[in-house]
Every structure is written in C-alpha cells, then in structure tokens.
Chains A and B, each alone.
Chain A
Amino acid sequence: MEVIVAQGLRRRFGRVEAVRGIDLTVCRGECLGLLGHNGAGKSTTIRLLLGLIPPTAGRALLFGLPAGHPSVRGRVGYSPESPHFYPFLTARETLDFYRKLSGLRPGQTDLDGILALVGLSDAARQQVGGFSKGMVQRLAVATALVGDPGVLFLDEPSSGLDPAGRVAMRALIRRLKESGKTIFLNTHIVSDVAQVADRVAFMKAGKVVALEPPVGDLEARFLELMGGGTADGPGA
C-alpha cells in the first residue's frame, strides 16, 4: 500500500525553485532514504510532504489524503533537522507536552517505553536545556514516536552526532523499521542510507535523479550521480 505519494511536486521561493518536480512513492513498512548534498532540496521536500508548506505545483498525499490534512497528522511523526525543545521541560515533560498536543490521554502512549527505545531513560527527569546535541536528536526522534505514528519523517537524524551517536541512531532507525514503521529518511550521510534504507532517492538541485535499491558501492554511485557535488543538473 502506498503511504507517501509525491506527484510533480514543485516549490518555489521567490526566484529560486527549491523543488523542481518530484515523483515518488513510499509503501507501508518501507524505508526510503533521500540522499543529496546540502541545499539539494531535501528538507523542503519533507516539509512539502508534511504539509508544512504548500507546493507551488503538484501534490503530496499521505495515506491517500492531502499532506497536512488534520486526520493525517495524527499518523505521522516528524523529527526535524535542527530540533529545539523548551529548555525548562524535562525529557519526559517534553514527551508529555506533545502527547497532550496530540490529543492523547495519559497512558494511551508509553512515554517511558519511548524514552527507553531512544536511550534516554536515565535522562528522563533532566531538563532539556542541559542536553547534548546527540540527546536532543534522540529526543526529537522520541517526540516523533509519541502517538505511535505509522510514518516517520526523519530529517538528518545523525546530523552533528559523534560516530558512536551515529551508530546508535542507525540502530534505532533499524529497530523502528523492524517494528513496521514506514520511514522517510532524509540525509546526506551515505552510510546511514546504505545500512537502513530499502530504496534510495538521489536528489540534486531540486530533482530526484535516481530512485533505486542501495546495492553495490553506494558511495561511488552517489559521486557518480552527484557529479562531484555540483548542483547544476543531473550528473549522470
């Protein structure tokens, strides 16, 4: 079943067209990795798919409904690229805050279980203001899991993490995938995608230039498609 659908998706900011016509689908339980250099339009694509910004042209559907539709939002989790939380709340209070915003009653979602899943059980009572970058990234994934959504949009979840943190994050994403979540993984780190994604969409200058399973030497394929990092057009 197709959970995420993008059809001719375009988005222009003034004179700059950040997304230049994207067509893709993601099926239930699938993990799609969106690979591309910084500025390729990956985050804009996620924001379009979440309905946070309207497309200039084309359409984005989640569960067959327009992206951002109120009845869809409860089934989607989102971990932004540079997450920021209210510093005066503890990790658990943060999750509880998003539980309330999701309209869930206490006990309807296992907050302690989520904290354990992302490895923040020990920091549950600590104020977020004192968290390291890695802890904040993991908390962002945790907030995305509140309400047990079927689809997760993870925007650069390993960004700024040390090697150990990246390993832990990859393990977490793998666990989430194994639990049946549909994952839209947005990253510029090739090794992340190679280890967790079922398919990879290579994005360059606002366009998906290739959509294929991550087989063989993904890094070489990335360099081949990206043309050494220029953003002028397809490199292949």
Chain B
Amino acid sequence: MALVLNVVREGLRNRSLYVLTGVGLLLMFLLLVTSGGTVRDAAGNDLLADAAGAMRVGFALAGFLGALVAVVLSMNTIPRDCDRGTMELLLVRPLARWRIGAGFFAGNILSAWLFLLALVVPLFPALTLRGGAAQVPDLLLTLPGIFLNVALVSAVTTLVSVWLPGPAAGLVGLLAYGLGAFGPELAALVALTDAWWTPVARAGLWLVPPTGEVAASVLQRFAHGGVGDPRPVLAGLLYLWATAGLTAASFGWREVSRRAALLFLGAGLVLTAALLAAPDPADWTDEDTALLQAALRLGEQVADLFPGWAPQETPVLLTKGRVNYLVNFPSELEAPPGRPVGAGTLRVVRLDRPEVPVVANGVVKVSGRAVALVAGRAQLEGAVGRLEAGLTLADGGEAELLKGMLRAGAGQSLTDEAYVGAVVHELFHVHQIPALEQWTADWDGAYAQERLWGEVYQDAENNRLQNLEAAYLLEALQAPDDGAARDAAARFLAVRAERAGYWQTRLGPVVADPLLELERLYEWLEGLARYVQAHVEPGGVEALMDELTEPVEAGIARDRVYRLGAAQALVLDRLIPGWRVEAMKGVSLEDLLREAVG
C-alpha cells in the first residue's frame, strides 16, 4: 500500500498531466457550457444541440483524455525507478517482489483515475447548467465503463513498461488504445479473411484491450434499447486481471505465496465463469425465430402487391455482427459451411465464418444468390442507439441507413412490428434486384450520394420545394376524389420540375441530371420498399401520411427518399391500378405519376 500511495503521489506531481487535464477541462467548458462549437455525427445532427448529446460528447472527450493521461502517467513509473536506482532499493527489501509489480500497477491506475475524476466531475454541473439534471443517473451508470477503459490503457502500458523504455511503452499503450477503440471493426475485418495470417491476427486481437466494446456497451446507457451485454465489461475485467498477473509475475513469480496465487487464480476463474455464463447476444434465440417467421408470414400476406415476389422463398442472412445465420437458403445451392440451428420451421445454419461481420441491413450475395441481409433485433436497435449516442466513427454510415429506414426517433425503442417491417423491407429489396439493373444511375457511388445528401438536401431552396412536394403528395392522398388527386399530383410534378430546373441552373445539367436521376432511383428503391413496409406495419400507411406533414429538414437527409418515394407509390395506387407491374420493370415513380396525370 505504501508503494501504491507513493506511485500515486509521484504521478500527481507530473505537471504535463495538469496541462493536459486543464486543456481538456477548458475544451469541455467551451463545448458543453458555452456551446462554443458544433459536433456533428455522420448524419449531420449537432450532438451539442441538447443536454443529452452534449453529455455524450463530454463523456467521449473525458474518456479520450483519460486514456491519454493514463498512457503518459503509466509509461514512465517503472522505467524511471529502474533508471534512477530506486527500483533496486525496493527489490532488496524483504517485500515479496510480485507485490512491487502489483504496487506499480495499482498505483498507475489509481493516479490515472484521479485525473479522470477531475475531468469527469465537471460534467455533472455542466449537465445541470444545460438543463439535463434528469440524466445524472444515466451519467453515473456510465462512469464504471470509462474508468474501466482508462484502467485497461494504464494496465497495458504498465505491463509493457516492465521491458521497454518509457517512450516505447507509451507508444505501445497508445497503439493498444487505438486498436482497442476499433476492436469490433478489426475483428470484423479479420473475420472476413481466410489467409495464412488470419489465425495469427485472430490471436493478436486477444492482446488488444477491449476498450471499444466496453465503450459501446456503456454508451448504450445513453441510447434507447440495444443489447444489455455484460460480456465486454467482464472481458475488460479479465484483461485487467491478466495484465495485473503478468506485471506482478514479471517482478518475481517465484515469491508468490500459495494463498495469493489461489486468490488470484480464483478471481480469474470467477471472471472466466461469469464471462462464459453470460448470455451471448450472438446466439440464435426463440425471439429470432418468432420475428423472422412473422416477417415471412406478413410478407406473404402482401406479396400479391407485386406479382412474382415470394417472401417465403427469399433466403435471409441474419447478422449479429461476428456471427451470421443463413436462413432458408435453397438446398440446391452450395451454402457456406456452418452448422444447423433448431429454429422451428425455418432452416437456419450458423455460418462458421460470417459473410457480413457487421450490423447492417441490405441485400448481399451468398454463393451467387441474392439474399436479404438483416441485423438481429437487439443488434439493430443497438446500432441505432449507438448512432444516437454519437458513436458513429465506424458504423455510422450503416446506422444512419438503419435509422432512416426504421424511422427511429430519439429515445424511442424499436418495436417488434417495426423490426418485422424492416425485415419485410429487405425481403422486398431482393425482389427489386433484377429490375435495379435497368437503372443507369450511379446508385452505389459514394461521391454522388454524398453530394445528394450533403449538398442538394442541405440547400434551403431545395428544401422549400421538397416541403411543397410533400404537401402536394399529402393533398393527393387526402383528396376526396381521383380528379382532385390527379390535380394535386400534377402540382407535385410541377414543383419537382421547378426543383430540377433550379439545380440544372445552379450546377449545370451535366452535374445536376445524374444527381436527380440518383434521387429518382432511390425513391424507387427505398420508397417502394418503404411502401411495402407500411403495408405490413399496423397503422403504417397513416404513419407515412403523418410524416409528410413534418418539414423535410427535420429528419436525416436520406430519409426523404423513403417517405417521398413511398408517398408517390400510395398516390399511384389511387391513379393507376396496374402501376406496380410497370414499376418492377425499372420505371421511376415520377415517370409513372407523369403518365397518370397525363
């Protein structure tokens, strides 16, 4: 204990850490209290706009600065004592040598925690000043995670500093922190590979502290729903246990008493048992079976909307991140290797290697066959939650897509009906694939998409016209007779033509036309899928009409193509009964409306 306190006292004398902490506090004050800045997520939302968002930013900032402090503080304590000879004075004492290693280990963590405390405590008054006092309990519950992560970074730095000089140990600590923050993404990348080095990379991931997983699971406190997964925290504690053991043992494992060894091994066994016993969110559950069966059943009920669409025969790849399940894959095709899972009437195979090791919805090809890609319910909700929690560095793009599709509002949880609707949405996308090839727009071009969502949909005049489009589509849907509906549709088309003209003038036809074609494609692709989705969700059509009354600027940019596309489809229902057959030939909804209006 005396050594621990001395390490802490020495750590607290490190002036550079006070500078780092001071800069951090100033930054947080500017961001959180005076709102002197803007932090946007991948969807363009200003995270500092409300108290909860501001706290998420503050939390992330405190965690990052805390990790830096932990590295700076932990990298030097052991090398410095070795260099100046104080280590020898410790080693000649009758104290068991492993205790010296343990003392440095614990002292470093405690020192880092004290600095972290200085960074975190101001978050509470800042939260209160921003009117978010009600969120204090949430903030308190997230603290163990951030403290655990700082301890992990300190632990790995301390362990490495036993063998390496301080600066080198610091670099390793920073590297471990960086790799740990992207641990889930790295695991996903490794899972996609099948090279000679894959087993080495997989083993190497065990050396990385699970800070990314811990942060994600803890930040989930700020988000609605998601996976209540205790395993990242348990894995973090086990990592801490292992690094503590290695650090202590490197000072003299022969001097470990039997009692201490038994206590240490017992703690490791308890943690391992808890980790193994904790439910794995990646396992297939009865809920998965029930939801998927419901989706297939509901899909079948609306399948006659589009002749030829057979939801029950559409294979599904259900991704839970690191584990994928292939459902109802045609037996005549060679499926990737895996083992069957009991799932009622569904044919489910747990794949040995994931095809899509991330949380995502869409369409992918498996053994050359298009299959609907859907994330597990909890993973999907978790991804949306993480988007709202500002944790969008890695999966922001996907989460944004999911959020748009699910129309998930902040703080709302994902209902069973919404999830089932999302699955039907993807099942329908598989049916759209052949017709998609008729389109010439660069639908997969990241640059074009970026420009459409980031420039066109951020323009005030564009948004004014799109709000008019939404209003005329709603008018068409609520019109007392078909004539009035047709008139409203004509006005919609006139506004749309005006908007096209606006962009052609502003950007020139060479740039504007492909962007507008891309918009039409997305309205066809996502609008139709949203239209089908609305038919299987209770009150789905009414909800869609309600959305048309909201300003287009209110939602995320991409969401517009879903709602305006689906609204055009609903108007077409009133004007041309056979429009869906034409649509599945790849004709745009706008062209079909133009034909209907005459």
A78-115 CB contact bits vs B (8 Å, 1 = yes)? 10111111101100000001101111000000000000
Interface centre among B85, B89, B92, B96 (most CB of A within 10 A): B92
Q: Which of A52, A100, A103 contacts B88 (CB 8 A)?
A: A52
Q: Does A58 contact B (CB under 8 A)?
A: no
Q: Does A199 contact B (CB under 8 A)?
A: no
Chain B residues whose CB sits within 8 angstroms of the CB of A102 once the complex forms? 93-95
Q: Which of B85, B86, B95 contacts A86 (CB 8 A)?
A: B86
Taking a contact as CB atoms under 8 Å apart, the answer to whether B89 and A70 are in contact is no
Taking a contact as CB atoms under 8 Å apart, the answer to whether B95 and A78 are in contact is no
Q: Does A73 contact B (CB under 8 A)?
A: yes
Taking a contact as CB atoms under 8 Å apart, the answer to whether A70 and B94 are in contact is yes
Interface centre among A50, A70, A103 (most CB of B within 10 A): A70
Q: Does A143 contact B (CB under 8 A)?
A: yes
B244-263 CB contact bits vs A (8 Å, 1 = yes)? 00000000000100000000
Q: Does B13 contact A (CB under 8 A)?
A: yes
Q: Does A196 contact B (CB under 8 A)?
A: no
Q: Does A207 contact B (CB under 8 A)?
A: no
- Docked pose: A102 CA to B99 CA in angstroms: 12
Chain A residues whose CB sits within 8 angstroms of the CB of B89 once the complex forms? 78, 80, 83, 98, 143
- Docked pose: A97 CA to B86 CA in angstroms: 12
A120 to chain B, nearest CB (A): 17
Chain A residues whose CB sits within 8 angstroms of the CB of B278 once the complex forms? none
Interface centre among B3, B84, B95, B255 (most CB of A within 10 A): B95
Q: Does A181 contact B (CB under 8 A)?
A: no
Q: Does A154 contact B (CB under 8 A)?
A: no
Q: Does A76 contact B (CB under 8 A)?
A: yes
Taking a contact as CB atoms under 8 Å apart, the answer to whether A101 and B3 are in contact is yes
Q: Does B91 contact A (CB under 8 A)?
A: yes
Interface centre among A82, A84, A89, A102 (most CB of B within 10 A): A84
Taking a contact as CB atoms under 8 Å apart, the answer to whether B95 and A101 are in contact is yes
Chain A residues whose CB sits within 8 angstroms of the CB of B313 once the complex forms? none
Q: Does A165 contact B (CB under 8 A)?
A: no
Taking a contact as CB atoms under 8 Å apart, the answer to whether B85 and A82 are in contact is yes
- Docked pose: A80 CA to B93 CA in angstroms: 13
Chain A residues whose CB sits within 8 angstroms of the CB of B84 once the complex forms? 82, 84
Q: Does B2 contact A (CB under 8 A)?
A: yes
Q: Does B9 contact A (CB under 8 A)?
A: yes
Taking a contact as CB atoms under 8 Å apart, the answer to whether B94 and A74 are in contact is yes
- Docked pose: A50 CA to B84 CA in angstroms: 18
- Docked pose: A74 CA to B92 CA in angstroms: 8
A44 to chain B, nearest CB (A): 12
Residue of B nearest to A71 (CB): B94
B594 to chain A, nearest CB (A): 82
B258 to chain A, nearest CB (A): 14
- Docked pose: A52 CA to B88 CA in angstroms: 7
- Docked pose: A80 CA to B82 CA in angstroms: 13
Chain A residues whose CB sits within 8 angstroms of the CB of B94 once the complex forms? 70-71, 73-74, 102-103, 147
- Docked pose: A143 CA to B89 CA in angstroms: 9
Q: Does B270 contact A (CB under 8 A)?
A: no
Taking a contact as CB atoms under 8 Å apart, the answer to whether B9 and A103 are in contact is no
Chain A residues whose CB sits within 8 angstroms of the CB of B3 once the complex forms? 101
Q: Does A42 contact B (CB under 8 A)?
A: no
A43 to chain B, nearest CB (A): 10
B325-352 CB contact bits vs A (8 Å, 1 = yes)? 0000000000000000000000000000
Taking a contact as CB atoms under 8 Å apart, the answer to whether B13 and A101 are in contact is no
Q: Does A47 contact B (CB under 8 A)?
A: yes
Residue of B nearest to A85 (CB): B86
- Docked pose: A173 CA to B380 CA in angstroms: 76
The answer to whether A101 and B10 touch (CB under 8 A), given A80-B88, A85-B86, is: no
Taking a contact as CB atoms under 8 Å apart, the answer to whether B6 and A97 are in contact is yes
A156 to chain B, nearest CB (A): 12
- Docked pose: A54 CA to B6 CA in angstroms: 28
Chain B residues whose CB sits within 8 angstroms of the CB of A83 once the complex forms? 85, 89
- Docked pose: A85 CA to B1 CA in angstroms: 18
Taking a contact as CB atoms under 8 Å apart, the answer to whether A78 and B92 are in contact is yes
Q: Does B114 contact A (CB under 8 A)?
A: no
Identify 23 residue pairs between A and B in the complex whose beta-carbon atoms are under 8 Å apart, listed by A's number: A47-B88, A50-B88, A71-B94, A73-B92, A73-B94, A74-B93, A78-B92, A80-B85, A80-B89, A82-B84, A83-B89, A84-B86, A86-B6, A86-B10, A88-B9, A97-B2, A98-B89, A98-B93, A100-B2, A101-B2, A101-B93, A101-B95, A103-B95
Question: Interface on B for A, CB 8 Å cutoff?
Answer: 1-3, 6, 9-10, 13, 84-86, 88-96, 255
Given contacts A86-B9, A88-B13, list 8 more A-B pairs with CB under 8 A: A50-B88, A73-B92, A74-B93, A78-B89, A86-B86, A101-B90, A102-B93, A143-B89
